């Protein structure tokens, strides 16, 4: 569960990046967040990851109020929230297997767990045969699949995807969205920030529209979405 109650975020000067936003996302939902640049989408993601603190209001994730999490406990909180970025953020000097295993090493997972979970994740994203390849040796779509496998290997309840298709061609973009939909069907709550209106319209999921720091639209799955 993701819950924002009257959340605002202001930087040093100017219009608030978020202004009195309230939002509920239930377990198992697939939600798109759309809006022009400067609408507050990136700020929202950073608040959910506790990279930023709200100026006012409260955020609850997985029944835990983020404001009550001490700084030293933030890494433990983030184990339950997977994240995928537009630019993949893979370790260029490590192969596919090692990139996914890195997320397990960060939490101190035993080697036995790593040897079981990493191949299973690579198989799920269709990259079992490329576990020895380095990022420079695989396509952009494949790199994003590695990033998704890394985000999921610790079995988070929530997956945040910030423009996951932004650097991909149309074919690879659709492949990634189908993969995210499959992940959602397995029970993971998925929140996708995107500019790709074609994908948003076609997938018929819940769509939250932001503009200048406020939510101006919230269309449930099955409702007609208009750009």
pLDDT tens string 158-205: 999 999 998 889 999 999 999 999 999 999 999 999 988 999 999 999
Burial class (CB in 10 A: 0-12, 13-18, 19+), 192: buried
What DSSP designation does 69 have?
-
Q: Both 202 and 171 in a single domain?
A: yes
- Domain with 213, as residue range(s), is 1-80+157-227
- For the whole model, what pTM was predicted? 0.90
Q: Both 175 and 164 in a single domain?
A: yes
Burial class (CB in 10 A: 0-12, 13-18, 19+), 213: buried
What DSSP designation does 17 have?
S
Place of tokens 């893979």: 90
Q: Both 62 and 169 in a single domain?
A: yes
Q: Both 150 and 163 in a single domain?
A: no
Tally the domains of the chain: 2
Whether residue 133 lies inside any domain: the answer is yes
Whether residue 85 lies inside any domain: the answer is no
Q: What phi-psi label fits residue 25: left (phi over 0), alpha (psi between -120 and 50 degrees) or beta?
A: beta
* Domain's final residue, options 155, 176, 196: 155
Overall average pLDDT of the 13-41 stretch: 92
**What does the pLDDT look like over 103-144, one tens digit per residue?**
999 888 999 999 999 999 999 999 999 999 999 999 999 999
Q: Both 149 and 161 in a single domain?
A: no
Q: Both 53 and 69 in a single domain?
A: yes
Q: Both 30 and 17 in a single domain?
A: yes
21 vs 41: CA distance, rounded Å:
12
* Domain's final residue, options 102, 134, 155: 155
Q: Both 60 and 40 in a single domain?
A: yes
Q: In sequence order, which ranges of the chain are alpha helices (DSSP H)?
A: 41-48, 74-78, 96-106, 111-124, 140-152, 170-185, 197-203
Question: At residue 142, what are phi and psi to the nearest 5 degrees?
Answer: -70, -35
């Amino acid at each position: 569960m993701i819950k924002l109650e009257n959340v605002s975020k202001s930087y040093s000067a100017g219009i608030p990046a978020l202004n009195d936003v309230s939002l509920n996302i239930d377990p198992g939902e697939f939600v798109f967040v759309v809006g022009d640049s400067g609408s507050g989408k990136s700020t929202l993601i950073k608040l959910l990851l506790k990279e930023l603190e709200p100026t006012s209001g409260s955020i609850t994730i997985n029944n835990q109020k983020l404001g009550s999490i001490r700084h030293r406990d933030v890494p433990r909180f983030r184990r339950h929230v997977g994240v995928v970025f537009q630019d993949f953020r893979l370790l260029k000097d490590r192969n596919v297997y090692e990139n996914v295993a890195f997320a397990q090493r960060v939490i101190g997972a035993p080697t036995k767990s790593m040897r079981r979970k990493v191949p299973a994740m690579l198989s799920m994203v269709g990259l079992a045969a490329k576990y020895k390849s380095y990022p420079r040796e695989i396509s952009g779509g494949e790199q994003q699949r590695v990033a998704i496998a890394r985000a999921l290997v610790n079995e988070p309840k929530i997956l945040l995807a910030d423009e996951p298709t932004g650097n991909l061609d149309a074919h690879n973009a659709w492949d990634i969205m189908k993969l995210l939909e499959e992940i959602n069907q397995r029970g993971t709550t998925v929140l996708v920030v995107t500019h790709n209106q074609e994908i948003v319209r076609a997938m018929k999921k819940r769509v939250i529209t932001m503009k200048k720091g406020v939510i101006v639209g919230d269309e449930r799955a099955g409702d007609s979405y208009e750009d």
